[in-house]
Structure 1
């Protein structure tokens, strides 16, 4: 009955690129149809990750969702075995590796409660140790609400810690871009010289967006100081290790900006080892993704500081949503006409200016800025930082960021 209802809906109501979806269509078409079915027929919410989707049950969702996902996965497994289907299984994450997590790491904490993986607080080898699923659609029972990072001094704590351990110019640029742009780490690590040349504005760079199939459909905006550091890195440290010994203006568009000492593209695992040393030096526990949360919280603070009335607040929040490329397509349609890149630049420049002012204060060494333990427990948002009515809004906004 579960499959019968789905295939009946597929024949009558599905839509992929203007046509009904058949069971034998490509795995991309089937996935799109299943996403629509889960959202509109079964009342679920979806949260996109790099190579899969979290399926979150709501009060409207039936308790049979797990049976539906298992049944449709088994169906395509069967037709593949019978050689009746020519594409990959739409219900399987093709990038999932069964070799991950065979060895228990020595640092695995025993008998400790753990947050769900969607929280993004576990380091890669810890997450990979625990039982994983190769499913493209992963069902989670409860929706996780992220912490809102609001400590204004957080970037400068990490900048000081990085400087204290002698971080590379490459890692300094990356971490500054994380805080200034609100980007995901992979969006920064995969940047190319051509991405910078694609934008007209000096302080912007084009980048991919999750789910955009490597197309540069969004941009990142950073400060003048970070641009200077980026060019200095490319012309000195990067040039030292690169296979092509060219400066910033002479490199080809396809050249990846961030490289290892072997001249290979810098990846997440390599960056994470340096990140870990920095947060240990800073004496805080912090996942890389929380730089993105910090960015949004501080952008909203600046919106409230600069807006003249409630209408302007709403408009600027909509501009922020579009800059972050919130995944909910219906939300994007509602907010699309508000988006104006010039207006966003004004907001961002104000935030970047304040960041520079706070950094200068921090580097003066005031005792109020360097007391180590105050940062550990002070980074959660309270009603004292933003109006209480905005906490629910920002929590909902973060769901679209994951």
Structure 2
């Protein structure tokens, strides 16, 4: 059955006074405050692109609740107790997302199938985030349905019970009890299995230029061109570029750099982005022409205050992710390439690593440059780069294997050119199985392992 989209959102029209910049409507006419309040609470804890992504994941689910959910013979309402919400979420995962769900004590395992979209994890995160917000806003009076409370309780018990019977743990400084290994508490009621995050390896050297060409076809302005170039050249997230200020540019020593925030830094400028001289020229041209035209004070770069946003809309207001994405998606559609904006970051890392391997002369130089890349990207977990390196390890194996196959083909040709085995070139060996061959112990160990 095809679901009708009953829930949709609209941005606040110009000239309308409201504390909401976006509002969700039910059947296009009736405001739906739970999702509206959730969105605005979410942008207080995340960036706007994340909040909008979560909202887009929830809208189909809420439409499905009204049309197809069933708990004890009735449709499920979003504000019902956790038991009803869990049943509805499980049915939605099975029926609409093609997942397999199975019981495991106090929670459920979720397996994606070939019918499942890639957004299963995103949907579960969004629903969990929704109830977290509505509980904080005092609009949902129960515990979070997407949290496995027993997992929290078990984790708490294991972290407080000591090795001494009926006694709490001694402080770590006492040194009398084994330390508890650090591990992240998995508190989700629906636990995705075999869903370890893997970055996408995008190894098309011409990808940026294909996107620029598509942008030209849909008449991108200088603003969209500069943003796209910054994404590919810096490896930044979209919000880290779109939300730049003039002061972020002036704060750096180099005219090819800007300061920006990082995911989780709560707006604090903790890293920098570096881009090409050609992009600098386009940026300055944008600031002194296109942007100046839309600026309410008609200021160019030299006269702009530090707090002024770098990118503006045609109305002279700060450029937002939602407005930018409209222009991006038009170009992507024309290009014929399915490219989520975040993939520009994966492309940057893949390209950067390839250059490191191609230009470095020693292993020490490779390691040094990799550490520089990790610091630049600001990865919290340094092991993230290992997944990318696995790709290059496979590439190196393919090259060396191809070389081996090429050598085998040459030797086969040489062998066939001989009139008899007696005329084999010196250095070629035919082993007589009756002969006793002395083999190095390490090689023998390797051979034994192949049996």
**1:40-87 Cα distance to aligned partner (Å, 9 max, x none):** xxxxxxxxx9947xxxxxxxxxxxxxxxxxxxxxxxxxxxxxxxxxxx
Pick aligned residue for 1:134 from 120, 125, 130: 130
1:198 aligns with 2:247: no
State the Cα distance separating 1:210 from its structure 2 match: 1.1
- Kindly report which structure 2 residues correspond to 1:124-203, keeping only aligned pairs within 5 A, or say none: 131=127, 133-134=129-130, 139=188, 140-141=191-192, 142-203=195-256
Of 388, 392, 396, the residue aligned with 1:387 is: 396
In the TM superposition, residue 117 of structure 1 has moved relative to its aligned partner by: 5.7
- Normalised by the length of structure 1, the TM-score is 0.53
Give the drift of 1:327: 1.4
Local SS of the residue matching 2:301: coil
Partner residue of 2:343 out of 264, 286, 290: 290
CA RMSD in angstroms, aligned pairs only: 3.5
Provide closer, same or farther for how the CA distance between residues 221 and 118 of structure 1 changes in structure 2, counting only shifts above 3 A.
farther
Q: Does 1:239 align with 2:235?
A: no
Aligned equivalents of 2:371 and 2:205: distance in 1? 23
SS in 2 for 1:387: helix
Residue 321 of structure 1 deviates from its aligned partner by 0.2
What's the offset of the Cα at 1:134?
2.7
> Structure 1: any 5+ residue segments left out of the alignment?
1-48, 53-92, 120-126, 333-380, 390-402
Evaluate the alpha carbon distance shift between residue 118 and residue 294 of structure 1 in structure 2; reply closer, same or farther with a 3 A threshold. Answer: farther
SS in 2 for 1:179: helix
Counterpart mapping for 1:282-321 below 5 A: 282-321=335-374
Seen in structure 2, the aligned counterparts of structure 1 residues 272 and 388 have a Cα distance that, compared at 3 Å, is farther
Partner of residue 280, structure 2: 227
* Match of residue 312, structure 2, among 252, 259, 262: 259
Distance 1:177 1:385, change over 3 A: farther
- Distance (Å, rounded) in 1 between the aligned partners of 2:187 and 2:311: 32
Q: How many residues align?
A: 240
CA contact (8 A) 2:238 2:341 kept: yes
Does the Cα contact within 8 Å between 1:50 and 1:210 map onto a contact in 2? no
Identify the match of residue 250 of structure 1 among 276, 286, 303: 303
> Does the 8 Å contact 2:58/2:126 carry over to 1?
no
User: Are 2:118 and 1:115 equivalent residues in the alignment?
Assistant: yes
Shift of 1:144: 2.8
Cα distance in 2 for residues equivalent to 1:98 and 1:146: 23
Distance of 2:324 and 2:187 partners within structure 1: 27
1:388 CA displacement: 5.2
Q: Distance in 2 between matches of 1:128 and 1:258?
A: 33
Query: Could you give the per-residue CA deviations for residues 287-316 of structure 1, whole angstroms, max 9, x where no partner exists?
Result: 000000000000001111211111100110
Query: CA distance change for structure 1 residues 241 and 216 in 2, over 3 Å: closer, same or farther?
Result: same
> The residue matched to 2:351 in structure 1 has which SS?
helix
Aligned: 1:268 with 2:332: no
Flag the 1:293–1:206 CA change in 2: closer, same or farther, 3 A.
Answer: same
Give the TM-score, by structure 2 length: 0.48
Equivalent residues in 2 for 1:71-86 (5 A)?
none
Query: How far off is 1:131 after superposition?
Result: 5.0
| Alpha-carbon distance change, 317 to 258 in structure 1, aligned in 2, over 3 angstroms | same
Counterpart of 2:143?
none
Q: 1:129 to 1:386 in 2, by over 3 A?
A: closer
Matches of 1:320 and 1:50, distance apart in 2: 30
Distance 1:153 1:385, change over 3 A: farther
* Separation of aligned partners in 1, 2:215 and 2:126: 31
Q: Which residue of the partner structure matches residue 61 of structure 1?
A: none
**Per-residue CA distance 1:360-396 (angstroms, 9 max, x = gap):** xxxxxxxxxxxxxxxxxxxxx966984359xxxxxxx
8 Å contact from structure 1 (residues 116, 144) kept in 2: no
Deviation at 1:325, TM superposition (A): 0.5
SS of the equivalent of 1:245 reads coil
CA spacing shift, 1:223–1:96, aligned 2, 3 Å? closer
In structure 2, relative to structure 1, the CA distance for the partners of 1:115 and 1:204 (3 Å cut) is same
Q: 5+ unaligned residues in a row in structure 2: which ranges?
A: 1-42, 65-95, 99-114, 133-185, 385-389, 399-451
Q: Indicate the SS of the match to 1:217.
A: strand
